[in-house]
Amino acid sequence: YEGTRIGRQELYGEILFDTEGALWTLAEIEQHRIKQVDANQIVRRVIAVDPAVTNTTESDETGIVIVSRDHTGHGYVEADLSMRGTPNEWAAKVVQAFDDHQCDNIIVEVNQGGDMVASTLRTIRPHLPIREVRASKGKRLRAEPISALYEQGRIHHVGVFEELETQLTTWTPEDGKSPDRLDALVWGMSELLQHSGASAFLNAYAKLCSCGFPNRHADTVCGSCGLGLTA
pLDDT in tens, 112-159: 655 688 889 999 999 999 999 887 667 788 888 899 899 989 999 999
Residue 138 confidence (pLDDT)? 74
The pLDDT value recorded for residue 19 is 80
Strand pairing category for 207-208 and 214-215: antiparallel
pLDDT at position 206? 58
Which residues, 6 or more positions from 123, have their beta carbon under 8 angstroms from its beta carbon?
Answer: 88, 91
Among 49, 69, 29, which Cα is nearest to 159's?
29
Confidence check: pLDDT of 201 > 50? no
**What CA–CA distances, in Å, run from 77 to 87, 109, 110, 155, 194?**
24, 18, 22, 8, 15
Strand partners, 66: 47, 79
C-beta of residue 140 within 8 angstroms of C-beta of residue 173: yes
SS3 for 143? helix
H helix count then E strand count, the chain: 8, 8
% of the chain residues with pLDDT over 70? 75
* The predicted structure's pLDDT at residue 10: 66
pTM: 0.77
E strands in the chain: 42-50, 63-70, 75-80, 105-109, 130-133, 155-157, 207-208, 214-215
In terms of Cα–Cα distance, which of 51, 217, 16, 230 is closest to 130?
51
What is the three-class DSSP state of 161?
Answer: coil
Is residue 1 within 8 A of residue 7, CB to CB? The reply is: yes
Q: Pick the closest to residue 94 from 54, 158, 47 (CA basis).
A: 47
pLDDT number for residue 197: 43
CB–CB of 33/58 below 8 Å? no
User: Tens of pLDDT along 73-121?
Assistant: 899 999 999 999 999 999 999 999 999 999 999 999 887 655 688 889 9
